[in-house]
Amino acid sequence: MKNTFGNNITVTLFGESHMDSIGAVLDGIPAGIKIDTDFIKNQLSKRRPHKNISTSRVEIDEFDIISGVYNDFTTGSPICIIIKNGDKNSNDYNELESKPRPSHADYSAFCKYGKYGVLPGGGHFSGRITAPLVAVGAIAISVLNGMGIKIASHLKRIGNIEDDDFFDFEDNINKLNSLDFPVINESIGLKMQEKIKSIKADNDSIGGIVETLVLGMPSGVGEPWFDSVESLLSHALFSIPSIKAVEFGLGFGFADLTGFDANDSFEIIDGKVLTKTNNNGGINGGITNGNPLMFRVAVKPTPSIQKEQDTVDLDKMSNCKLTIKGRHDPCIAHRVGVVIDSVAAITLLDLLAEKYGTEGIKNAIRTDREDIKA
Amino acid sequence: MKNTFGNNITVTLFGESHMDSIGAVLDGIPAGIKIDTDFIKNQLSKRRPHKNISTSRVEIDEFDIISGVYNDFTTGSPICIIIKNGDKNSNDYNELESKPRPSHADYSAFCKYGKYGVLPGGGHFSGRITAPLVAVGAIAISVLNGMGIKIASHLKRIGNIEDDDFFDFEDNINKLNSLDFPVINESIGLKMQEKIKSIKADNDSIGGIVETLVLGMPSGVGEPWFDSVESLLSHALFSIPSIKAVEFGLGFGFADLTGFDANDSFEIIDGKVLTKTNNNGGINGGITNGNPLMFRVAVKPTPSIQKEQDTVDLDKMSNCKLTIKGRHDPCIAHRVGVVIDSVAAITLLDLLAEKYGTEGIKNAIRTDREDIKA
Amino acid sequence: MKNTFGNNITVTLFGESHMDSIGAVLDGIPAGIKIDTDFIKNQLSKRRPHKNISTSRVEIDEFDIISGVYNDFTTGSPICIIIKNGDKNSNDYNELESKPRPSHADYSAFCKYGKYGVLPGGGHFSGRITAPLVAVGAIAISVLNGMGIKIASHLKRIGNIEDDDFFDFEDNINKLNSLDFPVINESIGLKMQEKIKSIKADNDSIGGIVETLVLGMPSGVGEPWFDSVESLLSHALFSIPSIKAVEFGLGFGFADLTGFDANDSFEIIDGKVLTKTNNNGGINGGITNGNPLMFRVAVKPTPSIQKEQDTVDLDKMSNCKLTIKGRHDPCIAHRVGVVIDSVAAITLLDLLAEKYGTEGIKNAIRTDREDIKA
Amino acid sequence: MKNTFGNNITVTLFGESHMDSIGAVLDGIPAGIKIDTDFIKNQLSKRRPHKNISTSRVEIDEFDIISGVYNDFTTGSPICIIIKNGDKNSNDYNELESKPRPSHADYSAFCKYGKYGVLPGGGHFSGRITAPLVAVGAIAISVLNGMGIKIASHLKRIGNIEDDDFFDFEDNINKLNSLDFPVINESIGLKMQEKIKSIKADNDSIGGIVETLVLGMPSGVGEPWFDSVESLLSHALFSIPSIKAVEFGLGFGFADLTGFDANDSFEIIDGKVLTKTNNNGGINGGITNGNPLMFRVAVKPTPSIQKEQDTVDLDKMSNCKLTIKGRHDPCIAHRVGVVIDSVAAITLLDLLAEKYGTEGIKNAIRTDREDIKA
């Protein structure tokens, strides 16, 4: 099950960066869901490089839904979306066949596959493969939205510049989903963009932290032990290239706290059981408790930098220098939020399917959502 | 696949804290591996409560291997280990049926299962279920050891007291595996124990960070995307109750670094490709690169504290106070390392099985390891 | 996933014939289902040897539900049932360590596991392991019954003696479930028993065919391709030792028919879409069509016979003779029906869970079934 | 996991008969395997309609390998093959939207998906989807061939005309793989073709039996219980549309035999353990025993016939007549053999991967097979 993930709702990925096309298969979506191709386009545009602060590789991301959708409605069969690879300069990669880029997948790919798995543009390891993941993820997000569940991510931190915390959840989510550079405080966002530009000017790259909020998840979803919400979400999140840390609620912040300070006390407000704080990020015992889900991931600085670095020549088995050519991102933290939303949505929809079944998911779509319900 | 995890080497968990017994099934271990029951005992003793700084519930953890082992050798069939539940005071839990403990699984279990899933001692949510996980994990660790792979965890931090970093890997691992309270710097360990005692005296609890080192993993193991080493390890780690954060290598530390500072340059030493640093914790592109694996988890403070807390009465749907009875741990960070080692070992063995097959795993056991090889 | 089967509702098997105990774990059953231990006992008694026509090994099959059930109701956690191995004569098996029994698993087990996997009584290969499968299967059957779905199997054929066809489905099922020797026509059943006795007297064994009927399955369950109802049922059925053929509806009878003669025409009766015939056994395109499910399996003659046979001595690598000692069944076709019902029920419940979710399954239990609904 | 099958080597299917294209993803194939596109073409041509005795729909089956293969060698990443849908007449299907074809998937698809899943040409239920399955299956067959394992199927029976049994295994396999109409006795094959023509002239269709032989499978592959060779093969075989029965070795023939007559006695020939007969079709206890694998499937008559049939109008909920238009096969038994070989090869390769790992599979390819080994 290397490139397939999920139980009832599954996603399968395929494709290499510099071959003809890449794609993903989303399986298990109930029949009769209306597909909004504009929403898919919009999600893909959020993942696309941003002028000035991203790679200059232009990815048009024209996608074809080649199965599973007929006359704009899902058929219940697997949905395959294909995206053509356009603007690619494989020549930039000739040198890399024998000289692995530090902190990139080149060397470990070589250890696993030999020279056959070390391909121009990173092949199957390329962040480019997240494009079809975002395309099928958009469908999962649509279905969640129809069920009253919303999701958005913001750049919590780039270098040492930090965005504000979520404060007005519903509003924050709506606003973030409309932004190309998703921050809560836009003036901080401008500083982050300046930071990225200066890092780019220095031929270097920078890491960051992305924080995600999910509103509206019903309580009682997930399992103790191996299918805990944290287990499944982290499984999906760590699949995204460059993500090296995942924390839920206070996460590492729990280490220094006492139970008395960290525990989320219960209280009843308007006849509903709520917690006074949400330090556990909406999950206890692996199961949702009705609070918003909140998690953060760390994104490492893009390993492909244009400064000279030390590496080795695997053919000659000697030390050497490497200056990476090609067009690369000085930061991907601002592009990865939509990928995070996508894999999280697929994972949460799968967990909901366990509880409610594909039938239940379809029935849970609010009847006023004519945009997605047949 | 709620309580079963893995592809070729799988583990299945079952049992409730206050019923007759709990257990685990480990499947896929090749036939002809010698089982060292003393090692299993020893691993279980590491998980057991420590005098003064743990719960006073005495868990003898007498285990029975009821299948899969015959005359001390594995048969190739699933290995089921059962542990009797001994010293339990279910009466301590009467009040909890309707009053969920803050930050514990009680309320989310109630949301999922209704009153049927809210059981004395936390039922299937209890940390007690990690005992059989450690027992079968000991077998996985034995097999890894036979292949030349070693694993150990230390308490990196309890409250704000921090242990030294790993420095002499082989030595550190050997020493940690012999300690009840696993720290690299034992004088820091004494301070940590004092901290726990004072927290206990205050009827409170405290969180911590555990750091794990794996030596000897071959390169080229794992997959890009959904079966990345990070994905599978985090999936397993987040299954352990109270773990709320997982990071590999620098983890969240990557956020503030530039690519130039963070990248692990390659160099050749003694004819081997190595990296000058190991910021990626031994994994690039989801695949091992031959370096030691290094990861850290955050353990939240035990939610069951004896201070009075705010909660609700689910029967009366009213706010109320709760003072938890029963015997609870003021800290589990010092007990959880062996659980982490166990699930990590099962996960890594499963990944090795993908590459080498069950046949290859058996063959990879060093011929001088007569203690585990037939 | 060697000894675990299923997606949402899973079963895990473990145990060896001549060790202390054997067991099974059933996971995914919703919380709040009442467990009827008498029904489990009754199902186990159907699997047990029958006086005169079975092995003289007395299996009391006392079972312990060691997890997942509390005060007679399911908790939502995995249900583990353990059965002690009682009356066993391992000495009968000494010779077999090096002399594989023809058509038994001994030799292929030796090829896979070496001598470590060739155990007294057939070890994990023993039909005895079907006892815990029947025990947990009884729970699945209970849940199906609560949803209005009924299942039963009859001995369609033993040697060349054939039972009548199903004619009054509801009645047939009720009657078969009350019989120890499950036939529709009891006078034919007596002839079959005479046949078995005479085969036993001749130190030989005999094969048979078992036919199963499932009433009440909703339409629209199952998937095209890999999760077709036929695919999943056959997967489960071929797991049962000695089953070598599975057919649905007319099965091999389709080979000689034309489409015109074989097709099941539709008609509307009382406002319902029905078919005039049920040649497809209730399944089209891998999905249930609302008709009764009907399938047949072939059971090979028990390979352990007491007549002298040709085999080889694997130690000496020479040809030799073998006369099998121990107590063996002259026929298992009359004992295997309840095993078939059990695995079929688990598989169908899993398919229903995909459609309706665990929540939907619980809700589908008829409110008048107070015996199983909380 | 609806449209994905396998553990280490997996296949994912997608596509609908009358949409733009259909495809399959094969994952887990080791890197560095040479891909022979001519062999894929040749396998596809065997599946294609045969002049006079098949549908007149012309399927060119031009395929694109859009991922996983670079410069003719596998990269280790998932291999996606896409086939364009060419010659399609969706108008032929207008009437069928509301009038389900007897014994076809139309009605059960309607029950599961509503009108959204009832598509021209049968949509995802169409036998057309087997084309990409054959394409990726050809890669699996190549790898098996490289390991010294051969596979072929023949038409054992069409209507009541029966082909000879396998007699000279190696020769039979080689010859069958070169034939468009795969029979052992070609004069019988001519009679079968006459039969199909006369059935076609009668606007009817006919069923058949296909028998498959696998030579060279190593012993000790497969598992007792749920991953038995029979379980996994039958799971894959019943995924193929129109297959309603599967038997291994003597299959249903076991029912009338005694153990003494049915058992496969062992003997030593040239220092090897062999059996005198192969009634069990090469599998005991779910595990290969070193003998050739042999199994048979029943193929039902194509349900789409041009004779008038009784059906219902789901819009009007009334009985009605139906005369199916479109171009359909009078028999698919002669086209399905290559599909059977394909799914069997994928399944067996997956089982081999469990034992030997992806590494072991690559190493097992004979060094003289330069055509497929790097």
Chain C contacts of B16, Cβ < 8 Å? 67-68, 70, 75, 77
Between positions 157 and 196 of C, the ones with CB within 8 A of D are 157-160
Q: Give mean pLDDT, residues D310-334.
A: 91
> Which of D12, D35, D85, D119 is most worth mutating to test chain A (most A CB atoms within 10 A of its CB)?
D12
3-state secondary structure D244-277: EEEEECCHHHHHHCEHHHHCCCEEEECCEEEECC
pLDDT score recorded for residue B372: 81
Separation of alpha carbons A5 and B224, rounded Å: 12
pLDDT score recorded for residue A59: 66
- Per DSSP, chain D holds a count of helices (H) and strands (E) of 8, 18
Between positions 132 and 151 of C, the ones with CB within 8 A of D are none
Distance from CA of B144 to the nearest CA of D (A): 17
Q: Give mean pLDDT, residues A192-196.
A: 96
Q: Give mean pLDDT, residues D297-324.
A: 95
pLDDT score recorded for residue C82: 97
pLDDT tens digit sequence for C125-152: 999 999 999 999 999 999 999 999 999 9
Model confidence at C51, pLDDT cuts 50, 70, 90, reads confident
pLDDT score recorded for residue C92: 62
Tokens of D137: 């299956």
pLDDT tens digit sequence for B289-327: 999 999 999 999 999 999 999 999 999 999 999 999 876
How far CA B126 is from CA of B119, B131, D157, in Å, comes to: 10, 10, 60
Q: What strands, in cross-sheet order, belong to the sheet with C21-27?
A: C4-5, C10-15, C21-27, C79-84, C63-67
Model confidence at B189, pLDDT cuts 50, 70, 90, reads very high
Distance from CA of D186 to the nearest CA of B (A): 43
Chain C contacts of D293, Cβ < 8 Å? none
Residues forming beta bridges with residue D26, ordered by sequence position: D11, D79
Chain C contacts of B4, Cβ < 8 Å? 1, 4, 10, 12, 27
Judge whether residue D327 has pLDDT over 90: no
pLDDT tens digit sequence for A305-359: 999 999 999 999 999 999 998 767 899 999 999 999 999 999 999 999 999 999 9
Instruction: Label residues D239-273 b or e (16+ Cβ within 10 Å = b).
Output: bbbbbbbbbbbbbbbbbbbbbbebbbbbebeeeeb
Distance from CA of A16 to the nearest CA of C (A): 27
Q: Give mean pLDDT, residues D48-65.
A: 78
**Contact at CB, D305 and C263, closer than 8 angstroms:** yes
Separation of alpha carbons D357 and D349, rounded Å: 10
Nearest CA in chain A to C351: A357
**Contact at CB, B353 and D356, closer than 8 angstroms:** no
Judge whether residue A368 has pLDDT over 90: no
Judge whether residue A49 has pLDDT over 90: no
Q: Which range, of A67-81, B103-117, D53-67, D116-130, averages the lowest pLDDT?
A: D53-67
pLDDT score recorded for residue C61: 82
pLDDT tens digit sequence for B309-319: 999 999 999 99
**Contact at CB, C224 and D157, closer than 8 angstroms:** no
pLDDT tens digit sequence for B330-367: 999 999 999 999 999 999 999 999 999 999 999 999 87
pLDDT score recorded for residue B369: 80
Higher-confidence residue of A274 and C88: namely: A274
Q: Give mean pLDDT, residues B102-109.
A: 96
Nearest CA in chain D to B220: D359
Judge whether residue C339 has pLDDT over 90: yes
Highest mean pLDDT among A39-53, D87-101, D267-281: D267-281
pLDDT tens digit sequence for D92-149: 666 777 999 999 999 999 999 999 998 888 899 999 999 999 999 999 999 999 999 9
Higher-confidence residue of C240 and C92: namely: C240
Distance from CA of D23 to the nearest CA of B (A): 21
Between positions 19 and 78 of D, the ones with CB within 8 A of B are 77
Distance from CA of D277 to the nearest CA of B (A): 28
pLDDT tens digit sequence for C168-226: 999 999 999 999 899 999 999 999 999 999 999 999 999 999 999 999 999 999 999 99
Chain C contacts of D264, Cβ < 8 Å? 102-103
Among C8, C224, C356, the residue with its CB nearest the CB of A360 is C356
Number of Cβ pairs closer than 8 Å across A and D? 167
**Contact at CB, D80 and A113, closer than 8 angstroms:** no
pLDDT score recorded for residue D92: 61
Separation of alpha carbons B141 and B152, rounded Å: 10
Q: What is the largest CA-CA distance in chain D?
A: 72
Q: CB of D13 within 8 Å of any CB in chain C?
A: yes
Q: HSE on the CB side for B175, CA within 13 Å? A: 13
Judge whether residue B368 has pLDDT over 90: no
Q: CB of B231 within 8 Å of any CB in chain C?
A: no
Separation of alpha carbons D47 and C98, rounded Å: 47
Q: What is the mean pLDDT of chain D?
A: 94
> Which of C1, C8, C77 is most worth mutating to test chain A (most A CB atoms within 10 A of its CB)?
C8
**Contact at CB, C265 and D311, closer than 8 angstroms:** yes
Q: CB of C80 within 8 Å of any CB in chain B?
A: yes
Q: What is the mean pLDDT of chain C?
A: 93
Separation of alpha carbons A171 and A187, rounded Å: 17
> Which of D9, D18, D27, D67 is most worth mutating to test chain A (most A CB atoms within 10 A of its CB)?
D67
Q: HSE on the CB side for D37, CA within 13 Å? A: 12
Q: CB of C13 within 8 Å of any CB in chain B?
A: yes
User: H helices of chain A, where?
Assistant: 37-47, 106-113, 130-146, 169-176, 186-201, 229-237, 259-262, 333-364
Q: Could you tell me the pTM of the whole model?
A: 0.97
Tokens of D260: 């003494």
pLDDT tens digit sequence for C218-229: 999 999 999 999
Model confidence at A371, pLDDT cuts 50, 70, 90, reads confident
What ipTM was predicted for this assembly?
A: 0.96
pLDDT score recorded for residue A328: 79
Question: Percent of chain A having pLDDT more than 90?
Answer: 85
Task: Say if residues A251 and A217 touch (Cβ distance below 8 Å).
Answer: no
Higher-confidence residue of C370 and C193: namely: C193
Nearest CA in chain C to D242: C285
Q: How many residues does chain B have?
A: 374
**Contact at CB, C4 and B1, closer than 8 angstroms:** yes
- The closest alpha carbon to A30, from A80, A82, A73, belongs to A73
Model confidence at D370, pLDDT cuts 50, 70, 90, reads confident
Between positions 243 and 282 of C, the ones with CB within 8 A of D are 243-260, 262-268, 271, 273, 275-276, 279-281
pLDDT tens digit sequence for C261-317: 999 999 999 999 999 999 999 999 999 999 999 999 999 999 999 999 999 999 999
Tokens of C367: 């409110």
Judge whether residue C338 has pLDDT over 90: yes
Say if strands D79-84 and D21-27 run parallel, antiparallel, or are unpaired.
Answer: antiparallel
Chain B contacts of A129, Cβ < 8 Å? 225
How far CA B186 is from CA of B213, B299, C117, D276, in Å, comes to: 18, 21, 46, 69
Between positions 308 and 337 of B, the ones with CB within 8 A of C are none
Q: What is the mean pLDDT of chain B?
A: 94
Model confidence at D325, pLDDT cuts 50, 70, 90, reads confident
- The closest alpha carbon to A137, from A232, A9, A245, belongs to A9
**Contact at CB, A70 and D1, closer than 8 angstroms:** no
Neighbours of C197 (CB within 10 A): 14
Distance from CA of A9 to the nearest CA of D (A): 8
Chain B contacts of C73, Cβ < 8 Å? 116
